[in-house]
A and B are shown apart, each in its own frame.
Chain A
């Protein structure tokens, strides 16, 4: 099965996620775009694992998922804590340490 276009798909998904992180101001949507980027990376690992017939790629994906879950949980905890203070989830309002 010809899977040589899958790293391209993953590159497109990664760039879309990167654009999302740069453009959006809602903290939760930024976290979602980070998850999008992590998934694109997982797809690249899976495509190359299929290509080189090596299961090391799968193990990598397993650990990336673990880290993504931990990071999503902590990130959302931070968003909730910030929301309680600012009443908004806009990242532009987190500016107490600006000059």
Chain B
């Protein structure tokens, strides 16, 4: 039962990713990216990462994509222009390169995971819970946590300055 659901979600995620890349209207690309982000959030839910499920929806699908949506609406972007000369070669090279990348990654990832019969032990208590993430963030990874808060402040200042109109 779970396998049917998870396969379905994988199929929708890949279809949405293809539509993001190959559709001409940027607004439709945003909608399909939101669908893809929701699919990844559902994957997190299946993989016992409940806190990340909620955070993915709040941060990625709920805040970052709203930012993209605002920019597309304010800049009033419509369809993309036609292919310029030399574009055909770029398309084919990119597609070949992409398929090559998939093949390379598959070869390296295949067989690295334990099979379905392997027993790696049960889950530790409260796996994927908020308490455990809080304990790790404020314990083992405190430096990274504080550094990321500095990163966010710098990014906020940078975004405000970059998007400001010149007072002329």
Contact = CB atoms under 8 A, between A and B. Distances in A.
Touch A–B, Cβ below 8 Å: yes
Interface string A35-74: 1100100110011111111011011011101111111111
Nearest to B156: A73
B36 A36 contact: yes
A5 interface: yes
Chain A contact residues, majority secondary structure: helix
B144 to A, nearest CB: 6
B21 A20 contact: yes
Interface in B48-94: 48-49, 51-52, 55-56, 59-60, 63-64, 67-68, 71-72, 74-75, 77, 80-81, 84, 90-91, 93-94
Interface residues of B, number: 87
Contact of B30 (A22, A32, A59): A32
Nearest to B111: A4
A83 B74 CA distance: 11
A78 B71 CA distance: 11
A1 interface: yes
Interface in A1-27: 1-9, 11-20, 22-26
Given A7-B113, A80-B71, A83-B75, A73 B159 contact: yes
Interface in B113-168: 113-116, 120-124, 127-128, 132-133, 136-137, 140-141, 144, 148, 151-152, 154-156, 158-163, 165
Contacts of A67: 148, 151
A15 B155 CA distance: 28
B98 A18 contact: yes
Interface in B91-111: 91, 93-95, 97-99, 101-102, 105-106, 109-110
Interface of A: 1-9, 11-20, 22-26, 28-29, 31-33, 35-36, 39, 42-43, 46-53, 55-56, 58-59, 61-63, 65-74, 76-81, 83-84, 89-90, 92
* For the complex of A and B, 10 pairs with smallest distance between CB atoms: A77-B162, A70-B155, A11-B105, A20-B21, A19-B98, A22-B94, A77-B159, A50-B47, A73-B159, A4-B113
